[in-house]
Structure 1
Amino acid sequence: MNELLSLFLRYALVNNFILVMFLGLCPFFGVSKKLSDAIRMGLAVTFVMIASSIITWLIANFILIPFNIEFMETVVFILVIASFVQLLEMVIRKTSIGLYRALGIYLPLITTNCAVLGIAEINFLEGFSFLGSIASSSGAGVGFILALTIMSGLRERLELSEVPGSLKGLPIAFITASILSLSFLTFGGLRI
């Protein structure tokens, strides 16, 4: 149990995908302008991270490793993630058109989010157990939501602040993200 909690905290805080590992920066800057959009995107990415980690763990441990074709993991994982997101998009479109409209462009963006592929690769390369893969992908998802939520709050506040004209928009977002990243690097000193 301690090992699972440790994996969760490691990927939520210490090895935060956005602020420490710098994966998933496109949605981080693109979707962090409004808090509501950031939370929706974060929840969608977290769900896909957990589900794709489960699917890729099963494929890796029951197909790739037994047939000695581990070298195919990246191609297989990309296909699994893209297929899963497309299937999810079709199911949501058929069952809840309101949710489909609310998520909008976010679902296709998840397919190309390198953080989703990153956690699947980490789980495979680190040789995590099934529960370890779920714990690490859950932590990565929570860390993704945390980073997006904090950044969107800061960006909403910056919109109301007096920012020099040359720094408005993305430049101040980069400066803010770098300071936020430095603050998350302090979690590296935690003993988990």
Structure 2
Amino acid sequence: MNELLTLFLRATFVENMPLTLFLGLCTFLALSRRPETAVGLGIAVIGVMGVTVPLNQLIYSALLAPGAWSWAGMPELDLSYLSLIAFIGVIAATVQLLEMLLDRFLPSVHAAFGVFLPLLTVQCAILAGSLFMVERNYTLAQSFVFGIGGGTGFAIAVIMLSAVRARLAYADLPAGLRGLGITFVLAGLMSLGFSSFAQMATQ
């Protein structure tokens, strides 16, 4: 249990997708203008990663990994080269289902996402969760915890950035820092803050 808790905290803070690994920055920056949109994005990323990472772990270990077909008398069969296509397919199906549910039950949130919700299909942070799972040889339980932790870390980061940006909307900023300029500065400062967790974890 302690091992899973450590993995969750590491995925959330030490290996934070946008602020430490710099993954998923497109939606991280684009949808952090308003806190309500950022909260919706964070929940969506948690849901998608929490579903796709363990599901891809099952698919990889049962069908694609070297030796996965030993039960069928084909121990030499290695389909791992298909993992990228399979992972993207699972992510695309999950995002499509999420989009249908939001459109049906939360149309305002769906409208706020706009074109960025379908882009979760190819968001590098979500795909990276499955690729890290394979590289680190996580079990099903570890994959689920890592997916939830990675999504939670993304949600915390984007909600924090949106809260600061909402306050700065009323600030008298220099012309050169308005818009994305101050956003990049804030993201850099937040990244420095989160990098301290990595230093603490190595001690």
TM bin, normalised by shorter chain, reads over 0.9
- Quote the offset at 1:78 in angstroms: 0.9
Matched, 1:191 2:201: yes
Query: Residue 129 of structure 2 aligns to which amino acid in structure 1?
Result: I
Secondary structure of the residue aligned to 1:18 is coil
- Quote the offset at 1:103 in angstroms: 2.3
For residue 72 of structure 2, what is the aligned residue in structure 1? none
Distance 1:116 1:102 in 2: 20
Where structure 1 has 5 or more consecutive residues not aligned to the other structure, the ranges are none
For residue 54 of structure 1, what is the aligned residue in structure 2? 54
Query: Does the 8 Å contact 2:48/2:126 carry over to 1?
Result: yes
Q: Please, which of 124, 127, 135 is the counterpart of residue 117 of structure 1?
A: 127
For residue 173 of structure 2, what is the aligned residue in structure 1? 163
Query: Does the 8 Å contact 1:42/1:141 carry over to 2?
Result: yes
For residue 41 of structure 1, what is the aligned residue in structure 2? 41
- Quote the offset at 1:91 in angstroms: 4.3
- Quote the offset at 1:160 in angstroms: 1.2
For residue 110 of structure 2, what is the aligned residue in structure 1? 103
Query: Does the 8 Å contact 2:14/2:201 carry over to 1?
Result: no
Q: What's the C-alpha RMSD, in Å, of the aligned pairs?
A: 1.5
Would the alpha carbon gap of residues 120 and 45 (structure 1) be closer, same or farther in structure 2, given more than 3 Å must change? same
Distance 1:56 1:17 in 2: 19
- Quote the offset at 1:86 in angstroms: 1.6
- Quote the offset at 1:145 in angstroms: 0.7
Secondary structure of the residue aligned to 2:117 is helix
Query: Residue 177 of structure 1 aligns to which amino acid in structure 2?
Result: A
Query: Residue 170 of structure 1 aligns to which amino acid in structure 2?
Result: L
Distance 1:191 1:110 in 2: 30
Query: Does the 8 Å contact 1:41/1:103 carry over to 2?
Result: no
Distance 2:32 2:184 in 1: 12
Query: Residue 7 of structure 2 aligns to which amino acid in structure 1?
Result: L
- Quote the offset at 1:25 in angstroms: 0.3
- Quote the offset at 1:14 in angstroms: 0.4
Secondary structure of the residue aligned to 1:190 is helix
Q: CA deviation digits over 1:127-179, x for unaligned, max 9? A: 00101001111111110111001100111111111110111000110011101
- Quote the offset at 1:54 in angstroms: 2.0
Q: How many residues align?
A: 189
Query: Does the 8 Å contact 2:18/2:24 carry over to 1?
Result: yes
Query: Does the 8 Å contact 1:7/1:136 carry over to 2?
Result: yes
For residue 75 of structure 2, what is the aligned residue in structure 1? none
Distance 1:14 1:103 in 2: 31
For residue 13 of structure 1, what is the aligned residue in structure 2? 13
